[in-house]
Structure 1
Amino acid sequence: MNDPAFARTRENGAEFGSIAGSGKLLRTALGPMVFRAKDSKLTSRLVKVLGQIKNLDSVSARGARNVAEGLNSSSSNSILEGFDFNAKATFGSVLNSIVTVDMVTGSVSIAAYNPLEQMRSPEGATHFSLQVGFLRIDFASGAYELTQSSEEVYPLVNGMISPVLTPVSAPTATGTGMHFILIEFFQEVNGVQYMLNNGAFNVLNLLKVS
């Protein structure tokens, strides 16, 4: 535990533990959203990305570098933005339209598109839903606040839609702002909507970091 020859090993272990804790905090902060759209390797993929953020920490000593300090780098946004929580259903492969995010209100506007022509939907799907989340998270203190929009359900039919989804409010907590979009697919039978294959085709994407 104290052998100088293993100093680097101890430092690497400490930083890995910190990254893993940050990944768990983010998954916890997203609550039900992450459980509705994730893959079996989410934890390891998230650790890898947060490890890149940790490497941007230019002020902490080796062994103490962390995600909170790494996020202060201007390069951190480009690493996080676009992260898909379900690698089997990525945002870019499912929806082909222009998305605009209001960093203040968290409102997400999707340019007019035809779901049958510009969405890749799983076989058997009759409907899909859209929901956005606005998260403020402080990786140093562990504090977070998530606000969400209502879940808007649309039929998979031929026709143009122009969704605008706005969280009920902007989070008042301090910390890094993150904007998410959740897409879920359903099959409607006799007026009841059933999730397809336990959410395997659902999308959860980190659109923007503010």
Structure 2
Amino acid sequence: MAKVNSIIKIEGTVEDLTFYKKDGVNYVRKKGGVSKERIGNDPNFIRTRENNNEFGHSGSSGKVLRRALGTMVFKAKDSKLQSRLLGVMSRIKNIDTVSARGQRSVSVGITTPEGKQALRGFNFNANAILDSVLFAPYNLDTATGVITLTNILTAEQILFPQGATHVSFQGAVCALDFETEVSEVAYSNVVNLPLNLTPTTITLTPASVPTGTGQQFFLMTVSFYQQVNGVQYSLKNEEYNVLAILEVV
């Protein structure tokens, strides 16, 4: 590695030289490293191939979950969701103690109590954590998927962003098989309330409770709006919205 002392500052690759900038200084280095073909075929790199296979599987599993939940994720996520899910899926994959190295999978790890616990309480928007936004108790019936919040005072038991006038709640049940990637989601009704001190009981009832192979995920969203002239608008492209996994069975 050498510094580049020139009026013309290049960034990128020219033949076998790579030019790059780090901490305001321009450097150049010769291209090198092990070729992709060698990593894919050389017996000395079998551990690397195993690690790469499991890493790719963990990333794909996070994508499978995001895709299964559809628009719910689009309305409540942060910029690092993909990398955070990769970390969680990698931990779940590591819990697979029956598959060979390089073949460990999320579909096996998630069947264990430890695997389910790794996703229980997961928040898709790290900037809006359920336990930091909602300060009212709720009850989840996993047999019916019904979520109940009794006599909630929205203006007092919710940490709402400045400018918000209303809040919406919605529940969902997702049945997902990580091995086959088959999924089904059932959404509850949406309850929209003004932010005030009137006690209100909220009941979120899903249209059905999807079953099948794999696991069931029970989720809840909390979304904020500002009402102007009778029309409600989401706040700042929904960056304050909450989406959390309440339970995994």
Match of 1:13 in 2: 52
* Counterpart amino acid of residue 84 in structure 2: R
Match of 2:241 in 1: 202
Deviation per CA, 1:104-144, whole angstroms, max 9, x where unpaired?
Answer: 21111123321111110000000010000100000001100
Match of 1:128 in 2: 167
Query: Would the alpha carbon gap of residues 172 and 79 (structure 1) be closer, same or farther in structure 2, given more than 3 Å must change?
Result: closer
* Counterpart amino acid of residue 231 in structure 2: V
CA distance in 2, matches of 1:115, 1:190: 21
Match of 2:227 in 1: 188
CA distance in 1, matches of 2:198, 2:177: 42
% same residue: 46
Match of 1:93 in 2: 132
Q: Any gaps of 5 or more consecutive residues in structure 1? A: none
Match of 1:105 in 2: 144
The answer on whether the counterparts of 1:145 and 1:173 sit within 8 Å (CA) in structure 2 is no
Q: Between Structure 1 and Structure 2, how many residues are aligned?
A: 210
Q: TM-score, normalised by structure 2?
A: 0.82
The Cα of 1:59 is off from its aligned counterpart by 0.9
The Cα of 1:64 is off from its aligned counterpart by 0.5
CA distance in 1, matches of 2:123, 2:85: 9
Deviation per CA, 1:64-123, whole angstroms, max 9, x where unpaired?
Answer: 001000012121222111100000000000001222211121111123321111110000
The answer on whether the counterparts of 1:99 and 1:110 sit within 8 Å (CA) in structure 2 is yes
The answer on whether the counterparts of 1:133 and 1:147 sit within 8 Å (CA) in structure 2 is yes
Match of 2:118 in 1: 79
The match for 2:217 among 146, 162, 178 is 178
Matches within 5 A, 1:1-80: 1-80=40-119
CA distance in 1, matches of 2:156, 2:242: 18
* Counterpart amino acid of residue 208 in structure 2: S
The Cα of 1:174 is off from its aligned counterpart by 2.7
Q: TM-score, normalised by structure 1?
A: 0.97
Any runs of at least 4 consecutive aligned residues in structure 1 with deviations exceeding 4 A, and if so which? none
Match of 1:149 in 2: 188
* Counterpart amino acid of residue 141 in structure 1: T
Relative to total residues, which structure has the larger strand share, 1 or 2? Answer: 2
The Cα of 1:5 is off from its aligned counterpart by 2.1
Match of 2:26 in 1: none
